[in-house]
Structure 1
Amino acid sequence: MKFRIVFGLILLILVFIGFFVGLPYFLRKIQLSPIFEFPKFTFMSAPALSTSTPGFWNFFSPAQVQSRRQSIVQSGNSIFQNKINIAGVSKYGRESVNLSNASPSLVNITGWRIKSRNRGEFVIGKGLALPNFSSDLSDVWLSAGESAEIIADISPLANNFRINSCFGGISELYNLGYGFSCPAIAPMDFAGMDSACQDLIMRSSSCRAPSDNILNQQSSKCRTWFEKNVNYPACVSKHINDRNFYGGWKIFTGNKMQIFDPLHDKIELRDRAGLAVDSYEY
């Protein structure tokens, strides 16, 4: 009886030893066996998003994304080539670069770069689309035929700004240094005024009133008419929808440092993606 108990204990110990020793070997054999081959999973980078079709997601493999990126960069040409041009460069005095929109469409040039081969680069920032009406900065949009002058100087308005046909009303206030005229006053606008007042109105601009000395010689009704109708806000309200109301952008570098070499340089215009739009070499 004792022999059977001892034999059973020995057998049980051998079973446990065999289980713990043989199990790792058995599992390793399963891993190496082609019969028990399991699919392998690898983690891919996030798929690229194409925005060519609004509302749809297009997925590309990493290789396709890299290929597409390289083809875009290697081409080097912007979709705005032959649409926005470097129309001219002023190399002496106050340096400036003139850009012109030769396309029939609005073009946003905010974030574009003026790059000099010898002097570095300048990034076009936002500006005041309608000075003295809103202090909010907006993107710089060029309409068909509109220009933008990049000036190596400090802005008299502390920001880039868009010129309009009523700027004669604020040019002296801000010492803009530009000779601005204002739209003529239509005869129907001063009908009913006395002859002396009408004569003064016809000799005046629509955005800048005569001096107080001259106005004090007129009737009270005439002075009131000038106060109400001849100033910058009144001019803007009346002419903002005119086809030729806007006259281009003035973009300032914020300092008087040279932005290109006056003797010999190559100036490049690049869009927000860094692609070449136009160049000017001299």
Structure 2
Amino acid sequence: MSDFKWFFVVFIVLGVVWFVTGGPERPSSKNPFIHEPAPLGEGTTYTKSGFWSMFQFPFASKTNNNSTQTTNTDEKMAEEAIEEKKAVSNAIDESSAKNESPYKDIAQLVKASATQKNPDREYLQITISSKSASSVIIDNWKIRSAITGNQVSFGKASYLPRMGAVNTEYTIKANPGDKITITTGKSPIGSSFRLNKCTGFLEQYQNFYPTLPRICPRPKDEIPPEYAYATGPNAFNDQCIDFIERIGVCSINTRDIPLNMQPQCVDFITKQINYNACITKHSNDPDFYDDEWRVFLKRDSELWKDRREVIELIDENGFVVDSISY
């Protein structure tokens, strides 16, 4: 019994000492480790909120450095994209705020042959200022009569039409100095198109208004050097070269070829002097494309009055770019 009393006295004394030295507020009570162990796993840290915090948030917090870096990069790229978009659309936004087209004074409408009754000969022209700082994207623009209300949309053409094929039309990108001829009628080749150094061939069997420039390479200049300036069985003889020199510029041969003509010469005349062969050979030339577009509105009757008319050029946002009256 006396032993139990002594045990009870010792227990009370230890309790008093524990309370006097800090009790539950002692660091050792909050953290059971003598030295805090190293975090388990890369990038984790332990909290120092005490014992009870383990019931509130039992997992170690983790910081993902890669995620932060990716987020910062994405934000930077997004900011750059926004700034780039702002730079491109600045002129449009400013002009929209002023209720005017950003293409005003850049694209000019010209009367040309608007008074013609025949839709195939009735055409207007748009000229892009050579002083323009950039190309003009013509997409869903309109030409409208302020008098009759007649209007029509345009803005697509084939960049490189081919004969004997269905030509896809794309949005027109007009460069500074370009001219766009807009004909009311239908295209003789079935599509609108951009002119190039070979399109003069198209004029041989179709009628264009205005006529297409005939600026094709001369047939004799298309003779490969190994045929024109060589000797032997494959070289073109005088009869062949004389015949080729008489073929007109931008023209397919229509004359009878002599029966005794060299086979290789006949092959050249029939297969290499035509529109498709021309674009195949020259489409990569730096001067291949011309600065004119031909757009056809595919109408069967005239659109514009021959007198007392006001015609407006409207951009894709509905703003007047230019107008003419006569």
Q: Is the 1:126–1:137 Cα contact (8 Å) retained in structure 2?
A: yes
Which whole-Å deviations, capped at 9, do the CAs of 1:57-116 have from their partners, x for residues lacking one?
Answer: 9xxxxxxxxxxx998556232111121111333233232111111135321212111121
1:113 matched residue in structure 2:
142
Asked if residue 273 in structure 1 is aligned to residue 317 in structure 2, the reply is yes
Q: Which residue of 1 aligns with 2:110?
A: 87
What's the secondary structure of 1:268's corresponding residue?
strand
Q: Which residue of 2 aligns with 1:101?
A: 128
Is 1:75 the counterpart of 2:95? The answer is no
Equivalent position of 2:246 in the other structure:
203
Q: Determine if the alignment matches structure 1 residue 55 to structure 2 residue 81.
A: yes
Conserved? CA contact 1:207–1:234, under 8 Å: no
Q: 1:179 to 1:111 in 2, by over 3 A?
A: closer
The CA deviation string for residues 210-234 of structure 1, in whole angstroms up to 9 with x for no partner, is: 2251354522121122234212122
Render the CA deviation track for 1:124-153: whole Å, top value 9, x for unaligned.
142222111662221122222221111111
The residue aligned with 2:275 is: 232
Q: Is the 8 A contact 2:257 2:266 kept in 1?
A: no
Alignment-mate amino acid for residue 98 of structure 1 = Q
Q: Give the aligned partner of residue 127 of structure 1.
A: 157
Distance 1:114 1:55, change over 3 A: same
Q: 1:163 aligns with which of 195, 209, 212?
A: 195
3-state SS of paired residue (2:308): coil
Q: Distance in 1 between matches of 2:266 and 2:191?
A: 34
Contact 1:156 1:174 in 2 (8 A): yes
Aligned pair partner of 1:145 in 157, 177, 185:
177
Equivalence map 1:175-186=2 (5 Å) = 175-176=207-208, 178=211, 180-181=213-214, 182-185=216-219, 186=221
d(CA) in 1 for partners of 2:174, 2:183:
17
Native 8 Å contact 1:104 1:143 kept in 2: no
Q: TM-score, normalized by length of structure 1?
A: 0.67
Distance in 1 (alpha carbons) for counterparts of 2:212 and 2:260: 28
Return the alpha-carbon distance in structure 2 between the equivalents of residues 204 and 274 of structure 1: 50
Indicate how the Cα distance of structure 1 residues 195 and 259 shifts in structure 2: closer, same or farther if over 3 A, else same: same
**Cα 1:273/1:230, change in 2 over 3 Å:** same
Length-normalised TM-score, structure 2: 0.59
Change (3 A) 1:84 1:194: same
Q: Distance in 2 between matches of 1:72 and 1:176?
A: 37
Show CA shifts across 1:160-198 (max 9, x none).
222222123333455546355222242763513211211
Task: Count residues in correspondence.
Answer: 220
Structure 1 distance, partners of 2:265, 2:259, is: 10
Distance in 1 (alpha carbons) for counterparts of 2:97 and 2:289: 41
CA contact (8 A) 1:183 1:206 kept: yes
Distance 1:106 1:202 in 2: 40
Q: Which amino acid aligns with 1:281?
A: S
SS in 2 for 1:155: coil
- State the structure with more CA Rg: 2
